[in-house]
Homo-oligomer: A and B are copies of this chain.
């Protein structure tokens, strides 16, 4: 199934639950590079991986431009010149800091949500007591 070689635009759109409009937009912005049979786009499994990365990036709050930068940088990195390799390492380090920040944010949010939930449950119990008193 997933080791399929090529994909139509609607196959990808369906699989990842996005519109074809979005997929075409991502190509427009240089994030995907499908080949063509006539006019029709043919997406490779590499495109598929990239689409997955794009969407994960979005969920993590990355802009398309940021994601594109990473893609481009990685492509150049593969060309194997030293300067590009070092640049990539720097970029990776910065992104890691971002991820650390996000993990902190999430941890904080989780804690606050736990205390919020606890308060809700307490308040609910209070209400139950009053109900019982009313019936007594």
- The residues of B that contact A65 with a CB separation of less than 8 Å are none
User: Interface residue count for A (Cβ, 8 Å)?
Assistant: 34
Pick from B74, B88, B102, B116: contact of A88, CB below 8 A.
B116
- The residues of B that contact A109 with a CB separation of less than 8 Å are 56, 60, 95, 99
- With A82-B124, A106-B60, A108-B56 as given contacts, are A96 and B113 in contact (CB-CB < 8 Å)? yes
* Shortest Cβ distance from A126 into B: residue: B80
Copies in the complex: 2
The answer, yes or no, to whether A89 is at the interface (CB within 8 Å) is yes
| A50 CB → nearest B CB, Å | 12
The answer, yes or no, to whether A61 is at the interface (CB within 8 Å) is yes
The answer, yes or no, to whether A127 is at the interface (CB within 8 Å) is yes
